[in-house]
Structures are given as C-alpha cells and as structure tokens.
Structure 1
Amino acid sequence: MKIDRRSILTGTAALSASAAFGLSMKAARAEATTLTGVTYLPPAYEDLAYGSQGFVDYVNENSAGVVNIDFYDSGRLLSADEQLPALRAGTIDFMFHTTSYITRSLPILGITGLPGVVGPLYENPDRMKRGSPLFDLVNTELQKQGLTALSLGGGLLEPEYIWSAGDPGIRSLDSIEGKRVRVVSFEATKAIEDFGGAAVRIPSSELYLALQRGTVDAAVANISTINGRSIQEQVRQVYEIPVTAFSIGIFVQTSRWEGMSEEVRQAMTAGAEWFDEHSSLAANVDYYEKQFWPKFREGGLEVVEPDQAALDRFAEVSANVREAWVSEVGEEVGRRAIALAMGEAS
C-alpha cells in the first residue's frame, strides 16, 4: 500500500497485509514485514543523515525477507511537530528525532541538553551507549509514557556553542549580557537568560537573515546548523562554551515493539547497534572535526576557547536549569541521571 501524508495524519496507514487481515502464518512468513520510519531532517545535512540513512540501509540490506523499511526524510510524510503524535497513535512504526526538540513532551531526554552536564557527557560518549546505566534509566522513564529508545545515537553530537556577529562579539560570559541570542531549546533559553542575554526563538531557516539584518547578535547552535545554513558567512567568532546539546534517537512505541516478531526485533536491534556505533561518531569526527572546523577556520572564523574558570562559572550559574529539570523528572531519577552523565555513579 502506498503511504502518503494524508493517510498518516488521518490514522489510516496500513500495517503489513499479514497483520491487518490475519493471513495464515505461511503467507505471513512469505513476505517481509514493512515498517514505516520518518525523520524531518533532509539528506542535505549529511552529518546528521549519515546515521539515519545508514540504519535504514543496514536493516534493508541485512534482513531481506524479514524487514522492509519505508523511510521518509525531509518532513515529506510528517513535520517535526507531527512525528511524536503519529508514533504514539501507531500510524508510523519508528522515528528519528533530535532530543532537544521533544524534551517538553519527554522530559527525561533533557539530560542530553543540561548546561554544565553536556560537556562531560559529550566527552564520554560511552555513558550514553546502548545498555549503559544512563541509557537504561532513560528508557525506563520513556516506557512510562509508552515509548522505547532503540538508540540515542551512541553519544551526544558536539555541543551547541555561541556564534556571534559584529566586533568584538561574544568572547566571554560577561559579554552575553544585553545581547539578543537565538536559541531553540528550553535549556539554552534559561542558560542565556541567566547571563543577562535576551533569548530569541528563531528557526534555523531564518537564522541567516536574522544575523545579517541584526535581528539577533548571536546564535546558540550546533555546528551542523552553522554549516547547513551557511551561517559561517554571517558570524565572526564562536565562543566554545557548551551551552546545551542534543542527540538523535530512534524511537518506537513500546507496545508496537513488543508486538513485533522476534525476527523483526532482532533485525531492528542489529540496525540500532550499527546506528549506536556510527551515528554520533561519524558526525563528530568525520564531518565536524575533519571537514567543518578546518573549513571555518580557513574562512577566517575566530575560535574563542573558555578557560576552566569560565566553564566552572557557567556550570555554577546554570545550576537553576538543572534544578528545574530535576523537579520535573523527579528527585531520585534526576539526581541519578546527572550523576551517571557526569561519571559520578555507575
């Protein structure tokens, strides 16, 4: 059955023929189970698309006759806002999503964006790997809402720093005061406001013009957004303070996952293990370290590195962001998640 946007949004997307019409076991085994997956990210973001497309290719190529994935990127089937409701409704089988986009709906994912935590968590990706205590804790909380993460990308993507236009721009924590700074996540908003900045929510598609016209003085962004939107043409310096961060996860509805055959779950798990091993690693090293940063530096971007005192001060001032998150997810869960992310518990 051809699946289009209208059928998904009205909840009429079909499951495989064997599941929908109760065909005999012999007939069911004769056809691969078709699963529908989505992401709102376009292939032009090669660094981010590498993992999602790689997962799809891995499963399709290694599990022929068991699973066939119909994959829709670039929001062709569902927009970023529509993905989670569609997953919960059972009209798609799985989704790739950036954690920062859905922390308001799934608060436990806020651990991937907490100021003062994301730096150490990014530097120690094993703390987020499949099967790690932190990964298992996140899944325990997600499953209370009927969802399961097959992977969180194997680690954080490089943190979001402060990219500024003008001279002298933002070169220190004190210079944030009075600046209009583009943000996306709740965590980044609070962090910027704590240092006297005005947080402005602007989609990445409008950021280039916003910087060019002076609507904002700076942006909190991952390097992928900078490269994908050519923002390096409008900024003069980047202050490498890890304001917030995110990962890309593979999410399924728990009941749907448990209802899949053992063969299908094994195929998807193998793909998730590939994704866990390669997604964030490829983005952080093959794209950011080896391609994007050298290109930016050659283009004249000034990179300002904070000293340890600035990092410590940022973590201290941002404590209220962490406390607000702990209150939201619960004292015991929140404290344990932060301890695991910081390497203070096992």
Structure 2
Amino acid sequence: MKKWMKLITFLIVSTFLLAACNTEEPETKAVTGSGDSDSYEETTIRLAYNLPQDHHIAKGIEQFAKDVTEKSDGAIKVQVYPAGQLLTDKDMNQSILSGGVEMGVNSSTLWASTVPAMGIFDVPYIFTTYEEAGEAINGEFGDKLRSAMEEKGAKVLMFADYGYAQFANNKRPLESPSDFKGLKIRSIGDIPSEMIKAYGASPVFMGGGEVYMALQRNTVDGATSGTTAMVQRKYDEVAKYLTINNYAYLEFILAVNQDYWNGLPEKSQQLLTETAKETEDWIRQQAKSEDETTAKQLEEKGMEVYVVPEEDLPEWKEAAKPAWDAFTKNSGDLGKELLEIVDQQ
C-alpha cells in the first residue's frame, strides 16, 4: 500500500512540474513597439557627427536618436557620438561606406568627392528661399541625389539644413563682387573657391576651428560660413564686417550604410524613415530661425552688417558664373539635370 501511495504522489508532483514549465515565456530578441502588436528586431546603431552639440542640426540629430529608441521601446538603440568623438569629418564618409559605422552626419560639400552632383548645394545662388530648398529636396531633385548616393553604397536618411553661407572680413564692407579684389578668404569647398576667385579674391582652405586665430593674426582677411557658426566661434571678436548675400544653402546629410539598411526589417526601416522626416522638417524651420537670430546677434555684438539688396543679386550671380561652369564640368549629366530642375521651379 505504501508503494502505491508513493507512486501516486510522484505522478501528482510530476504533473505540476510539467505544467509549471509550460507556462514559462520563451527567450526572444523581439520587442513590442509602442501602440503596435508587432515587434521590432533588436539592433544597435552607431551614429557619429562632428558639429558642436549646441548647433541646431546636432540638437535635431540627438532628438532623432532619442525618438527612435523610445518609439521602438528600446529595441533599436541609437548610440550617438557627437562633436567628432568617434570620427573626423574627413574620415566619416569612408567609414559609412565601408560599414565602420552604421550612420553618420556630414556636409554635402564633403560628399561631393564621392557623388560630384552633391556639390549642387555649393553652387552660388541656386536657392533664394528656404521654402525653395525644401521643395526641391522633397521632390525629383532630392530623389536623384538619393539614388546617386545609393549607387555608391550610402542611403540618405535625412537632408539637414545648415542655413545660408555669408561672408565676414576685416578690411572693408563687401557691397559688390569687385570689393573682394585682393582679399584672402577662407573657403569651405571647391565650388565656393571658384566663386571667390571669380570675385578677385584668393581662397584659403582651413578647418572651422582654425578661422578665429587666422582672422586674429591676419593670416586671412575674411571667411565664409553660416552666421550660426560665426556666433559660436565668436567671429565678432576678430572680424568687423558681415555681408549677407545668401550665396549658398548649406546641407548636411544623415547617411546610412546601404548594406546595413538593406538588412533591417521593413518595420524598422519605416520607423527610421518617418522619424527622420519629422526631424528634417524641424531642422529646416530651425535653420531659418537661427540664420535670422544669429545675424542680429552679430550686429548687436558690433559687426557692421550689409545686406545685399535683392535687385543687386543678379550682378553677384553673373560674376559667380565660373563656379557654375566648374560644377557642371565635374558633375556631368546629373549635375546638368539638377540645374534644369532648379531653373523650372
């Protein structure tokens, strides 16, 4: 009888143990997204950029990373490496193309060495308003640039508007192209250098962090940059004159390694694309606001500001024609197509 009782007890205990085991959740790497019954596949994205963290593009990128992580409930982790912590701007593009980093932000000027048509944003007086630039980027113009980048191995996730480029100098007010004659001007790329030469000045290449000292020591007479950067780098302390002529609408690109992108689930791609679009729109609004605010700040700090009248801009554009010629020569058929699209707007 005791043997039968032991056997019955064993069977009851075994049954409870089996039932308990069957209620355990299986291990998984899928995480449920907010407000969605489906789940996101876990991945970690390294995102590098070189701009100062208080720049409006940097603020947008930081928010983009935070939003993606939160919307995926932590499944898609975006690790941000700001202000050149991981890569220099010179190393950024190759690292993205080779897969050394999944995502990175760099200027369209530097991407022009890989896709020459990206130099379109440096061509003088292409876009006269922020709205014009946004319309082009969101249409056929932007699609052609995205396709050209994908052919090289990088997907454009976002066009981040830096704002318009202007001129600061120590010698005299620059009220016409002829006023540039004999000056040494820090340039930001090959196309702007062609314009500077066409205006009669000598372009000088140097990093943004070197300009303050160069102006202070008279190594250069002036420099071109956005007014946001001029405020951040305290140009008002070492330069007297500011000319607002909105000659180039500077862009930064948030690019993703194409192979990495192709390996992401469609759901993850959709989340990244939608969040990038929201961020792109915010950055464009900030670019306009920052340009206006920082130009006023420079004037308040003592710089003498000259705004080129709209009726004078055709003279500045005509004098810059060699820069247009240099772009079409380097960018081939795609460059010509982009110029035609802009002319039709």
Q: Shorter-chain TM-score: what band?
A: 0.7 to 0.9
Helix, strand or coil: the match of 1:87?
helix
Which of the pair has more CA radius of gyration?
A: 2
User: Within the alignment, does 1:34 sit opposite 2:41 as a pair?
Assistant: no
Q: What is the one-letter code of the residue matched to 1:298?
A: E
Specify which of 322, 330, 333 is matched with residue 332 of structure 2.
Answer: 330
Distance in 2 between residues matched to 1:80 and 1:100, nearest whole Å: 11
After TM superposition, give the deviation of residue 324 of structure 1 in Å: 2.3
User: Within the alignment, does 1:149 sit opposite 2:156 as a pair?
Assistant: yes
Aligned to 2:132: 124
Give per-residue Cα distances to partners, 1:228-258, cap 9 Å, x unaligned: 1111112222112233331122111222212
Q: What is the one-letter code of the residue matched to 1:231?
A: Y
5+ long unaligned stretches in structure 1: 1-24
The answer to whether the 8 Å contact 1:163/1:239 transfers is yes
Distance in 2 between residues matched to 1:271 and 1:110, nearest whole Å: 26
The answer to whether the 8 Å contact 2:44/2:79 transfers is yes
After TM superposition, give the deviation of residue 123 of structure 1 in Å: 4.8
Aligned to 1:136: 143
TM-score normalised by length of structure 2: 0.84
Helix, strand or coil: the match of 2:245?
strand
Q: CA RMSD in A?
A: 2.0
5+ long unaligned stretches in structure 2: 1-25, 32-40
Distance in 1 between residues matched to 2:288 and 2:59, nearest whole Å: 12
User: Within the alignment, does 1:312 sit opposite 2:314 as a pair?
Assistant: yes
Specify which of 228, 234, 239 is matched with residue 230 of structure 1.
Answer: 234
Helix, strand or coil: the match of 1:219?
strand
Specify which of 253, 268, 275 is matched with residue 272 of structure 2.
Answer: 268
The answer to whether the 8 Å contact 2:177/2:319 transfers is no
After TM superposition, give the deviation of residue 121 of structure 1 in Å: 5.6
Give per-residue Cα distances to partners, 1:317-345, cap 9 Å, x unaligned: 222322222232223x2222113234x15
Distance in 1 between residues matched to 2:328 and 2:156, nearest whole Å: 21
Q: What is the one-letter code of the residue matched to 1:151?
A: M
Aligned to 1:178: 182
Q: 1:339 to 1:122 in 2, by over 3 A?
A: farther
Distance in 2 between residues matched to 1:320 and 1:26, nearest whole Å: 63
Distance in 1 between residues matched to 2:297 and 2:227, nearest whole Å: 12
Q: What is the one-letter code of the residue matched to 1:339?
A: E
Distance in 2 between residues matched to 1:247 and 1:141, nearest whole Å: 16
After TM superposition, give the deviation of residue 299 of structure 1 in Å: 1.9
Helix, strand or coil: the match of 2:253?
strand
TM-score normalised by length of structure 1: 0.84
Give per-residue Cα distances to partners, 1:200-223, cap 9 Å, x unaligned: 112221111211121111111111
Distance in 2 between residues matched to 1:265 and 1:158, nearest whole Å: 28
Distance in 2 between residues matched to 1:335 and 1:240, nearest whole Å: 28
After TM superposition, give the deviation of residue 104 of structure 1 in Å: 1.9
User: Within the alignment, does 1:279 sit opposite 2:287 as a pair?
Assistant: no
Aligned to 1:199: 203
**Larger fraction in strand:** 2
The answer to whether the 8 Å contact 2:226/2:291 transfers is no
Give per-residue Cα distances to partners, 1:139-179, cap 9 Å, x unaligned: 121122122211212xx43221111113x343321110101
After TM superposition, give the deviation of residue 110 of structure 1 in Å: 0.9
Specify which of 90, 94, 112 is matched with residue 99 of structure 2.
Answer: 90
